[in-house]
Structure 1
Amino acid sequence: MQDTDVSLPRKSTEELGIAAKNVIGFLDGLKAHHIELHSFMLLRHGHVAVEGWWSPYAPELPHMLFSLSKSFTSTAIGMAVHEGLLTLDDPVISYFPDDLPAEVSSNLAAMQIRHLLMMGTGHDKDTMDALHEAEDGNWVRAFLNEPVDHEPGTHFLYNTGATYMLSAILQKATGQNLLEFLHGRLFEPLGIRNPTWETCPRGIHTGGFGLNVKTEDIAKFGQLYLQKGVWQGKRLIEESWIEEATEKQISNGDGGDSDWAQGYGYQFWRCRHGVYRGDGAFGQFCIVLPQYDAVIAMTAGTNDLQEVLNCVWEHLLDSFLPRPAEADEWSEDLKKRLHELQLEAPKFASESELEAQISGRVYALEDNETRIDRLRVEFEQDRALLTIDDFHGSHELSLGREHWLTSSSRLLNRQEGQFASSFTWKTPQTLLLTLRGIETPFCLTLEMQYEDENTLDFRQGINVSFSSSEGDSVRGIALLE
């Protein structure tokens, strides 16, 4: 039975020897580079020194980790190795005799678990597209049927499909999926409550993405690694595994100023300044700084991950002092800044005479990339109700008039999640809706320009994406009531 305190202990920046002025510089640096952070926690000597959430994001909400999930998957493999359930030398094909191609190439035959961990499988392209396109939903078979162009261990390629295979192997070797395996070994001891993880069509956790936990859970995970696998006096991970997983196992570039070219471990990135990290798309970070006895956890919605790290190196490395500090005006200023962090709802004009004519009307849209068929906005005094019909069904969201209102929906990722949403009038004929998935990096904008009450031009945008961030304008026609 887990008896661990759920929350990490807290101390002031002064007690932990952190210069508040530098932390303010970090916050200012992010703002200057237009980087949208959602949460930030800075730990030193096992205590939280700085923490902040940009409202409407909040400490109690989980956040999508994307590829930061990979570091948790690696941890599960390390635990299984030390329990004797598998070895890093095990051939990948030995776990899936029924899913092998008709001809097994020498490179595929040579691929071991360690090669999956170090992103040295020998592939020339990420296998995830092939996995997603598998008509039978058998991602394992799709992976094993992809050509392996290089000798495993000789060629780095960031390959999310490789991490999925780690998840599939763990499930084969242990009879438990990732969440089940990590529950008593990691999540329960650390007090990580209610983690969720996406699965493939056959029910295997995706491994390389799909984990959802809170920011403080990310911080706990980093602190466990900083403490070489010991948590409240109990060893959870072997120290030798942590050293092996976080040191350079394969070259991924020529170094220089890029933190994506400093070497790669077992689902951990090496960084400049003797630092290592787990990270995920759009700014999800777990950064471990051993020489400073510090951990940084962040969630965000940005495409500029390198600039986030640049701000860490530029401002926070010099914030660590050799001894406790005296409180000063910067300390009080930092507390105030952290308390006031927010992402404001857009504000142009709160009302338009057009509202009365369009309220409650259903507009049918032309075929479009968003696959939205119909939408409807019903206005009230200080709020509105948005209804969207798309290929997955009907979704309703409450919107505040130039302020955030929270509601739940399956609009993003088809899983129930919290949204903070608002509306404003950019012009008397142009309505702007802003929908923040506050458990995700994503913020959708829906812009509707009305020619009259019967016709509109609709455009959807998104703050971060793996593809284009804004779609083409499409026509919408009011349906007869």
Structure 2
Amino acid sequence: MNSLSSLYPAITALDLRSCLISQQGTLNFEYYRNQHTVTELAKINSCTKSILSSLICITMDKGLLPQSDTPITAFFPQLKMDNDARKQEITLEHLLTMSSGFNWTEFGGQKSFPLMTKSPHWTNFVLEQTLSDPPGAKMEYNSGNSQLLSAILVQTAGMSTARFAERYLFEPLGIETYNWEIDPQGIHTGGFGLWLRPTDMLKFGQLYLQQGTWNNKQLISRELLAQSVQPFISVDAPYRGSYGWHWWTDSVSDPSDMSSAPATQYFYARGYGGQYVYIIPSLQTVVVLSDDKPKKKQYSYDVFRQLIAPTLIHQQ
């Protein structure tokens, strides 16, 4: 019995859909609500954004996409005609770090995300939004940025986002089944809409733990992968930590440790409703959580930070 077995009672009580913990490439903890969860596809929601980040990195590695400081007018020349000249300053990195400056409230307030999904042309909807901040000044969570990136990938790769993913990410990782939603123009949703199995989410996290290497093949360059998961811009409450290229970054300390031990750094993919892929490099660990309960029935605390991370740190 491994030392993670103490987690089973608490994880079971939470009635999560799944919880997987891999350490040094070995699956040491595996919980599923039922046997169907093992093979069923489920929405990973905004974890899709981190998958898209990996595809953008691969596209850059292949020379299909220019460097991250490239203005997006290279792909959307109509921005040169916009009344707000600041839109010409928006770069690929601004999209990746959610700092494009668009006046956007994902769900509250303006409900920008629902409005985008109800519009006849999502890409145009995003590009036509006014700016509330200069590009690069502030992080504002915006799935429209992700949709622009998916559209850019299609332009530069000459194939759909999903086909590119199959060829350069899913097939090498052995991800055989998935679903991926599309917008009215047939562009795969960049910010959400991907359906995967928990074990395939774990493979994706393991790829990042292994710095882009899988079966002795470099799928993503170490340099771009490292750049993409660095804390690039700080985030405002209720979020915590920082944001990279469509990845969240943070650190956690053991509350029972009174020493001056440094906090444990990690980065993670995060999706609405309890979908997470955590990568903790110093512990050589990947954690996958998934859930599907209505918001009112979900757990009210941070399962990773308050339950799983302390257990992992105590192992050291």
> Which range, TM-score by smaller chain?
0.7 to 0.9
Asked if 1:311 is matched to 2:315, the reply is no
Whether contact under 8 Å (1:66, 1:210) holds in the other structure is yes
- Measure how far apart 1:93 and its partner are: 2.7
2:288 is aligned, of 284, 291, 297, to 297
- Between 1:60-69 and 1:295-304, the stretch displaced more is 295-304
**Matched residues in 1 for 2:223 and 2:200: separation?**
23
1:241 is aligned, of 205, 220, 224, to 224
- Amino acid paired to 2:113: M
Once the two structures are superposed, what CA deviation does each residue of 1:160-181 show, in whole Å capped at 9, x if it has no partner?
1111111001001111111111
Whether contact under 8 Å (1:23, 1:319) holds in the other structure is no
Whether contact under 8 Å (1:101, 1:144) holds in the other structure is no
Once the two structures are superposed, what CA deviation does each residue of 1:427-456 show, in whole Å capped at 9, x if it has no partner?
xxxxxxxxxxxxxxxxxxxxxxxxxxxxxx
**Matched residues in 2 for 1:91 and 1:180: separation?**
25
**Matched residues in 1 for 2:267 and 2:54: separation?**
15
* Residue of structure 2 equivalent to 1:193: 176
1:89 is aligned, of 50, 66, 69, to 69
Asked if 1:128 is matched to 2:107, the reply is no
* Residue of structure 2 equivalent to 1:398: none
**Matched residues in 2 for 1:305 and 1:182: separation?**
34
- Measure how far apart 1:148 and its partner are: 1.2
Percent of residue pairs identical: 28
- Amino acid paired to 2:304: L
Asked if 1:250 is matched to 2:241, the reply is no
- Amino acid paired to 1:311: Q
Cα 1:305–1:182 shift into 2, 3 Å? farther
1:46 is aligned, of 25, 30, 34, to 25
- Amino acid paired to 1:189: P
**Matched residues in 1 for 2:169 and 2:302: separation?**
31
- Measure how far apart 1:79 and its partner are: 0.6
Q: TM-score, normalised by structure 1?
A: 0.58
- Measure how far apart 1:94 and its partner are: 2.3
* Residue of structure 2 equivalent to 1:162: 145
1:113 is aligned, of 92, 100, 113, to 92
SS at match of 1:248: coil
- Measure how far apart 1:285 and its partner are: 0.8
Whether contact under 8 Å (2:103, 2:129) holds in the other structure is no
- Amino acid paired to 2:279: V
**Matched residues in 1 for 2:249 and 2:31: separation?**
26
Once the two structures are superposed, what CA deviation does each residue of 1:154-198 show, in whole Å capped at 9, x if it has no partner?
111110111111100100111111111111211011100122210
- Measure how far apart 1:105 and its partner are: 1.3
Task: Find the structure with the greater CA-based Rg.
Answer: 1
2:10 is aligned, of 13, 28, 32, to 28
- Measure how far apart 1:21 and its partner are: 4.7
Asked if 1:204 is matched to 2:204, the reply is no
* Residue of structure 2 equivalent to 1:175: 158
Q: TM-score, normalised by structure 2?
A: 0.86
Structure whose residues are more often strand by fraction:
1
* Residue of structure 1 equivalent to 2:257: none
* Residue of structure 2 equivalent to 1:152: 135
| Equivalenced residues, count | 293
**Matched residues in 1 for 2:202 and 2:309: separation?**
21
SS at match of 2:242: coil
- Measure how far apart 1:308 and its partner are: 2.0
Once the two structures are superposed, what CA deviation does each residue of 1:13-41 show, in whole Å capped at 9, x if it has no partner?
64xxxx135423xx42673xxx4310111
Gap regions ≥5 residues in structure 1: 1-12, 322-481
**Matched residues in 1 for 2:46 and 2:25: separation?**
25
**Matched residues in 2 for 1:116 and 1:312: separation?**
33
Whether contact under 8 Å (1:30, 1:311) holds in the other structure is no
Cα 1:29–1:221 shift into 2, 3 Å? closer
SS at match of 1:166: helix
Gap regions ≥5 residues in structure 2: 107-111, 252-263
**Matched residues in 2 for 1:274 and 1:102: separation?**
43
Whether contact under 8 Å (1:30, 1:308) holds in the other structure is no
Whether contact under 8 Å (1:70, 1:163) holds in the other structure is yes
* Residue of structure 1 equivalent to 2:209: 226
Once the two structures are superposed, what CA deviation does each residue of 1:98-148 show, in whole Å capped at 9, x if it has no partner?
5x48534122111111111001111232342342232xx211111111001
- Measure how far apart 1:199 and its partner are: 0.2
Q: What pairs with 1:73-472 in structure 2 (closer than 5 Å)?
A: 73-87=52-66, 88-97=68-77, 100=79, 103-125=82-104, 126=106, 127-134=112-119, 137-253=120-236, 260-272=239-251, 273-302=264-293, 303=295, 304=299, 306-313=301-308, 315-321=310-316
**Matched residues in 1 for 2:189 and 2:5: separation?**
41
Cα 1:167–1:314 shift into 2, 3 Å? closer
Cα 1:274–1:244 shift into 2, 3 Å? same
Structure whose residues are more often helix by fraction:
2
Cα 1:103–1:318 shift into 2, 3 Å? closer
Whether contact under 8 Å (1:229, 1:235) holds in the other structure is yes
- Measure how far apart 1:313 and its partner are: 4.6
**RCO higher in structure (CA 8 A, sep ≥6):** 2
